[in-house]
Structure 1
Amino acid sequence: MSQKMSSHAKGLALTAFGGLILTVDIPLIRLANGDNWSILFLRTGTTVIAAIIMWAIWRALTPNAPRLLPGRIGVVVAALYGLGSIAFITAVYNTSTANLVFILAFNTMFAALLSWIFLKERPRPITMIAMLFMILGVLIIVGDSIGTGQVFGDLMALTAAFLLASAITISRASGKDMGFTSLVGVILPFAVASFMISKGGLNVEAPLWIILNGALVMPIAFFCLANGPKYLSGPEVAMFYLLETVLAPVWVWMIFAEVPSRNSLIGGAILIVTLIVHSLYQLHAGRRRSQLAVPHSV
């Protein structure tokens, strides 16, 4: 029992650390102050190099290191993460930070919907109700952007959320270790960005910020979050993704004085409250089922 509790505590610490590190991703992108293709080039390039170095060291220390790409399914998952990265960076430059992170939180409900369609895992009534509330929240945010030129950015954020959910669903269905797959997947946006900057050149005022982001922040955050499900349930891991939704707009407000609009705050509040309530309910239900499954000693 103590070993089980120790593993759970390890998972909580690991996932919380990863979620907290991820909250500085968008502020570092903004601090670098460059065009989207230059930022994507440096961010993904340094992430690939860092991932390969991490994997090589791990491989040298033990033969049990996970594969960079576990078969063809790994290539598909990596491609989804890569396309999601392109959509994410595009959204950063075409909508507000608050809109972006609030809409990205919708990936949890996308994952539930995809699991229902492709894995035949029918969502519980509470999940379907949560989906309706989250759709309402996203509609409020996107509706507030109509006429402001931010609709395209909001749609790119929604696309990034869908691609991330697709990658998570396929990873779960395969049952394979995809710890490094999300990091290797950035090779695709790196190739696209390399082609684009070959025409217009590299344009980043403070490249150190984005190099720091790609070399340390992204590998550490995604590696920790990808390993969370080894120790925690899905709802517990999902809760730590909310750290970016809550804290990233705060960092951007403190650094850049970018104040979210009223409708963005309303829609974001609906998304956050819905996700927290849904996650807490799932946790409670899961623990209750576990207790009922344990036979009582006489």
Structure 2
Amino acid sequence: MLKAVRDAFAGEGDLTERQGGLLVVGAGVLFSVTAIAYAAVEDATDFQFLAYRGASTALAMVILIVLRRGGRPVDFSTVTRTTWIAGVVLAATSMLYILALSGTSAATTLFLLAAAPIFAALIGWLWLREAVARTTAIAIAITMVGVVITVGAGLEVGSTSALLFAGMIPITVGLYSVLMRSAPGVDPVIPTLIAGTVLGVVAGVVAILQGGLAISLRDIALASVSGGIALGLGLPMFNLGHRSVAAAKVPLLLMTEIVLAPLWVWIWPGEVPSVGTLVGGAVILGAVIWLVLVSRDAPSAAPSSRLGALPAD
């Protein structure tokens, strides 16, 4: 598995569907730490947090690019308009997630995020002509049942704007999944570098207009954990793993984030999840594990599409 991932990351082979699925699941585990990092912030505003999150993500990618110069350099010649669009969509998704968490409960945000497989399946069918496999459809249905169980008893509406931000997340996640499926030749580092840079610049400008970027070292460290580690490691794993997984299945495998985020908050700072959260989380995790187990072992070729053929800018 490790050798296959190393070779695929260097562009010297393809992952099987199961291997790609495991990478996506691992990315969801890393993404899940963002909720607890944001909850632990003391004084930083949303855009200050986002500015340092984006900057740390971009910095992590720069370090990775430098480390790879001697052996497997990052190939920027494959960057197209699709790659830029994907990076911007990813930056927007990160911003929407934090803004949603600031005005509504994590359960509400994650509940709406769970609709991402539906949008990914629809967009993938329209743009990539990817049929939704029966196993994926079954897993989607089971996952939705688990999410309803998890948050149905204590769903908090929150502010209207935060609910709107949360409602846009599954659309952007589904769109990003399909965009990346349509550009299989792009190095997994590049979209993350674009997203981190765009997020850091845009959020930084807003933060400066609101009063500046000065925050405590503790808050900078928390933002860096959610950026340089959660996104800096998770996004390259996600970008690589998605290539061998159907667009509708990718967001479904990311349900590990929805399961684990409440558990991290349970461990610290001690917010005990409800019975519904535990039962629903078990249902979701079971659907994800089942989907990985039934995935094919043969390499899966990425489909071609109009998006993948867009010329470089």
Same fold (TM > 0.5): yes
Question: Is the Cα–Cα contact under 8 Å of residues 52 and 224 in structure 2 kept in the other structure?
Answer: yes
Shift of 1:250: 0.7
Shift of 1:193: 1.3
In the alignment, structure 1 residue 159 sits paired with structure 2 residue 168? yes
In the alignment, structure 1 residue 253 sits paired with structure 2 residue 266? yes
In the alignment, structure 1 residue 114 sits paired with structure 2 residue 134? no
Match runs of 1:115-154 below 5 Å: 115-125=124-134, 127-128=136-137, 131=140, 148-149=157-158, 152-154=161-163
In the alignment, structure 1 residue 79 sits paired with structure 2 residue 92? no
More deviation, 42-51/105-114: 105-114
Where 1:175 maps in the other structure, the secondary structure is coil
CA displacement, residues 17-70 of structure 1 (integer Å, 9 cap, x when unaligned): 544333322212222332211100111011112212222332x21465232871
Distance 2:291 2:164 in 1: 24
Q: Specify the alignment match of 1:221 in structure 2.
A: 234
**Against the structure 1 CA distance between its residues 99 and 275, is the aligned structure 2 distance closer, same or farther, given a 3 Å change threshold?**
farther
Q: Specify the alignment match of 2:311 in structure 1.
A: none
Q: Specify the alignment match of 2:49 in structure 1.
A: 39
Rg (Cα) greater in structure: 1
Q: TM-score, normalised on structure 2?
A: 0.72
**Against the structure 1 CA distance between its residues 141 and 164, is the aligned structure 2 distance closer, same or farther, given a 3 Å change threshold?**
same
The total of aligned residue pairs comes to 283
Distance 1:14 1:125 in 2: 22
CA displacement, residues 208-237 of structure 1 (integer Å, 9 cap, x when unaligned): 22223323332112112222246x545886
Q: Specify the alignment match of 1:201 in structure 2.
A: 212
In the alignment, structure 1 residue 52 sits paired with structure 2 residue 62? yes
Question: Is the Cα–Cα contact under 8 Å of residues 134 and 270 in structure 1 kept in the other structure?
Answer: yes
Q: 2:39 aligns with which of 3, 13, 30?
A: 30
Q: Specify the alignment match of 1:182 in structure 2.
A: 192
More deviation, 39-48/234-243: 234-243
**Structure 2, unpaired ranges of 5+:** 8-14, 301-313
**Against the structure 1 CA distance between its residues 176 and 105, is the aligned structure 2 distance closer, same or farther, given a 3 Å change threshold?**
farther
Q: Specify the alignment match of 1:168 in structure 2.
A: 177
More deviation, 34-43/90-99: 90-99
Q: 2:255 aligns with which of 226, 239, 242?
A: 242
**Against the structure 1 CA distance between its residues 145 and 161, is the aligned structure 2 distance closer, same or farther, given a 3 Å change threshold?**
same
Where 2:103 maps in the other structure, the secondary structure is coil
Where 2:170 maps in the other structure, the secondary structure is helix
Q: How large is the Cα RMSD of the aligned pairs?
A: 3.9
Shift of 1:270: 6.2
**Structure 1, unpaired ranges of 5+:** 291-298
**Against the structure 1 CA distance between its residues 227 and 26, is the aligned structure 2 distance closer, same or farther, given a 3 Å change threshold?**
same
Question: Is the Cα–Cα contact under 8 Å of residues 25 and 217 in structure 1 kept in the other structure?
Answer: yes
Where 2:255 maps in the other structure, the secondary structure is helix
Shift of 1:153: 3.3
CA displacement, residues 54-113 of structure 1 (integer Å, 9 cap, x when unaligned): 22332x214652328712111111111111111111122122233333432332332112
**Against the structure 1 CA distance between its residues 155 and 133, is the aligned structure 2 distance closer, same or farther, given a 3 Å change threshold?**
farther
Distance 1:146 1:27 in 2: 19
Question: Is the Cα–Cα contact under 8 Å of residues 101 and 109 in structure 2 kept in the other structure?
Answer: yes
**Against the structure 1 CA distance between its residues 193 and 38, is the aligned structure 2 distance closer, same or farther, given a 3 Å change threshold?**
same
Give the number of the structure whose residues are more often helix, by fraction. 1
In the alignment, structure 1 residue 104 sits paired with structure 2 residue 117? no
**Against the structure 1 CA distance between its residues 193 and 81, is the aligned structure 2 distance closer, same or farther, given a 3 Å change threshold?**
same
Q: 2:224 aligns with which of 190, 211, 218?
A: 211
Shift of 1:133: 6.0
CA displacement, residues 272-298 of structure 1 (integer Å, 9 cap, x when unaligned): 5555555555x2xx469x9xxxxxxxx
Question: Is the Cα–Cα contact under 8 Å of residues 26 and 237 in structure 2 kept in the other structure?
Answer: yes
Amino acid in the other structure paired with 1:164: V
